[in-house]
Chains A and B, each alone.
Chain A
Amino acid sequence: MSGAEVDRLVTMANQIARFFESQPGDGAARATADHLNSFWAPTMREQLSEHAAAGGSGLSALVAAAVPLLRPARTDAPG
């Protein structure tokens, strides 16, 4: 991915985390991960995970905390 494409994923993920960060309780990382699992295609989740593994430049602390909770792509998809 190019820098611009990474930046876009980072921006989107940070936006999502910012919403759940404002919700009451301490489940923001879980809620952020749930949102990403529900609405992001596996390739986008993988790209985000790879970026986080590479240092996660630009990612908010909450996104960084959510990344380990991302679900790997289900393997029961049609071949």
Chain B
Amino acid sequence: MPLIKEADSGTPPSAATEVVSLTIDGQTVMAPAGTSVMRAASMMGTAIPKLCATDSLQAFGSCRLCLVEIDGRAGTPASCTTPIADGMVVRTQTPKLAKLRKGVMELYISDHPLDCLTCAANGDCELQDMAGAVGLREVRYGYDGANHLCAEADESNPYFTFDPSKCIVCSRCVRACDEVQGTFALTIEGRGFASQVSASQSQPFMESECVSCGACVQACPTAALTETAIIDIGQPEHSVVTTCAYCGVGCTFKAEMRGEQLVRMVPYKDGKANRGHSCVKGRFAWGYATHRERILNPMIRRAVTDPWREVTWSEAIAYAASEFTRIQAAHGRNSVGGITSSRCTNEETFLVQKLVRAGFGNNNVDTCARVCHSPTGYGLKATFGTSAGTQDFDSVEHSDVIMVIGANPTDGHPVFASRMKQRLRQGARLIVIDPRRIDLVRTPHVQADHHLPLRPGTNVAVLNALAHVIVTEGLVDEAFVRERCDWEEFQDWAEAVAAPANSPEASEAFTGVPPETVRQAARLYATGGAAAIYYGLGVTEHSQGTTAVIAIANLAMATGNLGKLGAGVNPLRGQNNVQGACDMGSFPHELSGYRHVSDDDARGVFEALWDVELDAEPGLRIPNMLDAAVQGAFKGLYIQGEDILQSDPNTTHVAAGLAAMECVVVQDLFLNETANYAHVFLPGSTFLEKDGTFTNAERRIQRVRKVMSPRNGFGDWEITQMLSNALGFTMSYSHPSEIMDEIASLTPTFAGVSFAKLDEEGSVQWPCNAAAPLGTPVMHLDGFVRGKGRFMLTEYVATDEKVGPRFPLLLTTGRVLSQYNVGAQTRRTANVAWHNEDLLEIHPEDAEQRGVRDGDWVSLKSRAGETSLRATVTERVAPGVVYTTFHFPQTQANVVTTEYSDWATNCPEYKVTAVEVALSNGTTDWQTRYQAHTRRSRRIAQPEPAE
């Protein structure tokens, strides 16, 4: 498709329902009250000249270019700041206005380099456009006066350049940073002629508070803020709308191209998850697609101690299939399995689980949700009837109270965090429950009303204490509970949480949260209006992860905060398609649409279509597979797009499991850590190189569109299909749309989904079927999917992972803004400029006791293992708690985490590991050995020269 130029109405839409009638240039226009004259004019197709206005920002009225004449009003008001009125008569083009606008443009251009032909923004410059629009032919003032033409460009940011000589000080960048992103990193420094855009305290962008979201670059009407790629490559010539492959927000982007070369990713205004915003990852960190370390040829080896040998696709596929067949013949049908990828598309994920169930003939299939949100699936299905969040992201615009539990949205889900912060700046109240003082606790113009800095591992106790206050202080929404929930189950629950043992006062001893803080938070949540809960892996990755999800659901039901805008229970999903991977039947006990494999009716539908008998028993989960491998019963694994050696807990155990297998097939972009133990490597494709769909955290199914040919030769769905065919289970799809058609035919909640509908609607949220042909933004509106909402008791059970004299600190892990998951993608981009190693956050008191100073190498040791990394001393963590990320294989933070897991789902207890920290001299022996092992494992044999 050609380059998409989105219309810019100049100012945001009005939410008013009252309609106003006015006349603009002789035409009658009807628009909602509160609409600006500029926007009303745009509705009839009239573009009033403008520079400081753009419809993603509130009107500012500084450029004086959008002046209009209005009958009965003196002067020439700015159309961007003037709201329409009934009967108003406006003229946008008059000789007087033309003269004024031309005069304004003369002033701008008198202090602007006249280098349009060599300017990076040539052809995409609003200043250039406006010069044309007003008919500028000369600048009467000349160009010799005082000017800013020699101002030095700031090239500190790897992704964009700030050239003040091209800045017109329209403040769009400053306002974008404030209003859209909510970081407030930019300002206009100085007055009058000395006015200039300044990052933080006149610092280079990279040294400032800028988070490189790109909002300022997008807002800039000139070349003052320009992507480095545009400077290097030039303007794109066509664009393709697609979906980001990073976090579970699912931002829509325009991939702007020159031929098959990606020039830049620009957030798409019509994207319903991101509404035109982006973060440093989705906007800029796509260079991994062409990174030199990407593997493009298939490889095999007999033993993991051998070097890799590049082979043809047919040889690699045949070898993998023969090995799986041999293993099953020797060790039984259940001796092999597969792992689907939450980074791949729904269609690709569906095919992997289909290959396992129908090709391998067992249900040994799992996905990375095992180690992140599997408790969400269990907990929300048990209480509400559906394994997914209840709201769309737009719902946050209606929240009066926002409770964030165990999530760090500004780092993990930054674009949604910006939307959340917009609502908080409008006055919504905020409760944060987190051991760390995450940025949301106090960030510019946002401050949590209550921060509950609980001890890691005590989520359930805190949630029960909140419930205790709600019940004992009479804050239950009894009408909602009686109508929507099972009343007897509610009474059992209310009686249990009302017990004195669950009071904030009683639980303070182990939660560490002051009782009055808990009480105030509970009152606010229950009585503050529409209250929404957003939670993340800080809830799920515990031995009581599922219990905590149930406790959250109980709170929402008890206070009537479900089935309406602004409320709900909202898991913030980690990876781009982790919701979709779960929906597609990636769990060993469930077919697509969350139907148990023992359900004869559901299974029968699959058997009939696939013409194969399916196993009615649940298969092995990832940790079960590894345990079985160590036992010698599990021998072969097909892994698409996951790096379990780095991401899963207790690395030593994972390595032992992988090493015990006879055939590990890794399909990925890079030789990841798991590939150190692989026998077959199948090069995967990036999201830029294939068609498909992702499903984000709000159940929104969105198209992924191929913008370039796969450098490895095939989309991942094609590779799975080749493997399946080689195994003897025939697949013959010619396009991913056919796979979606099959998903729709087999999955009631996807029955109405097709590529054609997604192309037409942009996106839909499941359930999408005959009852909801355009999807379901908010669930449980009139009743719960399961019928009556189910209260379940949530007794607090302390984890078995205890601190003691040997391991007196509690480690919790997470991620940072610039890096993503195991870092396979982001480590291979310029994002390393922000974060190029895992660091250990430690409180000053704990650091002082151990003689640790900022930047020191420290050992981090648990009963599972030991690693070393550098320390950063900070009060973001409480005394007794340390924190790190798991983005870098050099650190392998999961060497330290243990095998403890959630009772219901085996989701690992990443968030609670008893550790000790001590000064060290550098990397541990284990790290040194592992790095040597990695180097050996990644050897690729050179082809023998021809005779």
User: Any chain B CB within 8 A of the CB of A26?
Assistant: no
User: Any chain A CB within 8 A of the CB of B596?
Assistant: yes
CB distance from A1 to the nearest CB of B (A): 6
Interface centre among A15, A23, A44 (most CB of B within 10 A): A15
A38 touches B616 (CB 8 A): no
Contact of A77 among B617, B628, B633, B904 (CB under 8 A): B617
B627 touches A38 (CB 8 A): no
Task: Provide the bound-state CA to CA distance between A24 and B795, in Å.
Answer: 11
Known contacts A41-B334, A41-B620, A78 near B614 by CB under 8 Å: yes
Among residues of B, the one whose C-beta sits closest to the C-beta of A17 is B903
Residues of chain B within 8 A of A41, CB atoms compared: 334, 363-364, 588, 617-620, 624
Chain A residues packing against B (C-beta within 8 Å): 1-2, 5, 8, 11-12, 15-16, 18-19, 22-24, 35, 38-44, 73-74, 76-79
User: Any chain A CB within 8 A of the CB of B612?
Assistant: yes
Task: Tell me the chain B residues, 896-914 only, with Cβ under 8 Å from chain A.
Answer: 899, 901, 903-906
CB distance from B655 to the nearest CB of A (A): 16
B797 touches A18 (CB 8 A): yes
User: Any chain A CB within 8 A of the CB of B793?
Assistant: yes
Interface residues on B, range: 35 or more
B617 touches A74 (CB 8 A): yes
A24 touches B904 (CB 8 A): no
Contact bitstring B687-708, A, C-beta under 8 A = 1, else 0: 0000000000000000000000
Contact of B589 among A12, A24, A39, A44 (CB under 8 A): A39
Residues of chain B within 8 A of A12, CB atoms compared: 901, 903, 906
User: Any chain A CB within 8 A of the CB of B543?
Assistant: yes
A43 touches B589 (CB 8 A): no
Residues of chain B within 8 A of A40, CB atoms compared: 618
Task: Tell me the chain B residues, 613-667 only, with Cβ under 8 Å from chain A.
Answer: 613-620, 624, 627-628, 630-631, 633
B627 touches A8 (CB 8 A): yes
Task: Provide the bound-state CA to CA distance between A71 and B617, in Å.
Answer: 10
Interface centre among A42, A78, A79 (most CB of B within 10 A): A78
User: Any chain A CB within 8 A of the CB of B774?
Assistant: no
Residues of chain A within 8 A of B800, CB atoms compared: 11
B615 touches A78 (CB 8 A): yes
Contact bitstring B897-938, A, C-beta under 8 A = 1, else 0: 001010111100000000000000000000000000000000
Residues of chain B within 8 A of A74, CB atoms compared: 598, 616-617
Known contacts A41-B624, A73-B617, A78 near B333 by CB under 8 Å: yes
A19 touches B589 (CB 8 A): no
Among residues of B, the one whose C-beta sits closest to the C-beta of A41 is B620
Task: Tell me the chain B residues, 871-905 only, with Cβ under 8 Å from chain A.
Answer: 899, 901, 903-905
Residues of chain B within 8 A of A78, CB atoms compared: 333, 361, 612-615
Task: Provide the bound-state CA to CA distance between A40 and B613, in Å.
Answer: 20
Q: With A39-B618, A41-B364, A43-B620 given, can you name 20 additional A-B contacts, CB distance below 8 Å?
A: A1-B631, A12-B903, A16-B903, A16-B904, A18-B797, A18-B903, A19-B795, A22-B793, A23-B792, A38-B589, A41-B618, A41-B619, A43-B334, A44-B624, A74-B598, A76-B616, A77-B333, A77-B615, A78-B614, A78-B615
User: Any chain A CB within 8 A of the CB of B492?
Assistant: yes
CB distance from B626 to the nearest CB of A (A): 11
Among residues of B, the one whose C-beta sits closest to the C-beta of A42 is B617
B596 touches A38 (CB 8 A): yes
User: Any chain A CB within 8 A of the CB of B79?
Assistant: no
Known contacts A74-B616, A76-B616, A15 near B543 by CB under 8 Å: yes
Task: Tell me the chain B residues, 580-621 only, with Cβ under 8 Å from chain A.
Answer: 588-589, 596, 598, 612-620
Known contacts A15-B903, A16-B903, A74-B616, A38 near B598 by CB under 8 Å: yes
Q: By DSSP majority rule, is chain B's interface helix, strand, loop, or mixed?
A: loop
Residues of chain A within 8 A of B361, CB atoms compared: 77-78
A5 touches B904 (CB 8 A): no
Task: Provide the bound-state CA to CA distance between A38 and B905, in Å.
Answer: 11
B904 touches A39 (CB 8 A): yes
Residues of chain A within 8 A of B797, CB atoms compared: 18-19
Task: Tell me the chain B residues, 361-400 only, with Cβ under 8 Å from chain A.
Answer: 361, 363-364
Task: Provide the bound-state CA to CA distance between A78 and B614, in Å.
Answer: 6
CB distance from B874 to the nearest CB of A (A): 34
Known contacts A38-B589, A41-B619, A43-B628, A22 near B795 by CB under 8 Å: yes
Task: Provide the bound-state CA to CA distance between A76 and B617, in Å.
Answer: 10
Interface centre among B492, B596, B628 (most CB of A within 10 A): B628
CB distance from B44 to the nearest CB of A (A): 60
**Nearest 7 pairs of A and B residues by beta carbon:** A15-B903, A22-B795, A78-B613, A24-B492, A77-B615, A78-B361, A74-B616
CB distance from B900 to the nearest CB of A (A): 8
Residues of chain A within 8 A of B56, CB atoms compared: none
Task: Provide the bound-state CA to CA distance between A11 and B801, in Å.
Answer: 13
Contact of A5 among B613, B627, B794 (CB under 8 A): B627
CB distance from A35 to the nearest CB of B (A): 7
User: Any chain A CB within 8 A of the CB of B547?
Assistant: yes
Task: Tell me the chain B residues, 299-345 only, with Cβ under 8 Å from chain A.
Answer: 333-334
Q: List 27 A-B contacts (CB under 8 A).
A: A2-B631, A8-B627, A18-B797, A19-B547, A22-B795, A24-B793, A38-B589, A38-B596, A39-B618, A39-B905, A41-B364, A41-B588, A41-B618, A43-B334, A43-B620, A43-B628, A73-B617, A74-B598, A74-B616, A74-B617, A76-B613, A77-B361, A77-B615, A77-B616, A78-B333, A78-B614, A78-B615
B903 touches A19 (CB 8 A): yes
Contact of B633 among A18, A43, A73 (CB under 8 A): A43
A8 touches B899 (CB 8 A): yes
Among residues of A, the one whose C-beta sits closest to the C-beta of B899 is A8
Residues of chain B within 8 A of A73, CB atoms compared: 617
Among residues of A, the one whose C-beta sits closest to the C-beta of B625 is A41
B492 touches A35 (CB 8 A): no
Task: Provide the bound-state CA to CA distance between A8 and B617, in Å.
Answer: 21
Residues of chain A within 8 A of B795, CB atoms compared: 18-19, 22
B628 touches A38 (CB 8 A): no
CB distance from A71 to the nearest CB of B (A): 9
Residues of chain A within 8 A of B794, CB atoms compared: 22
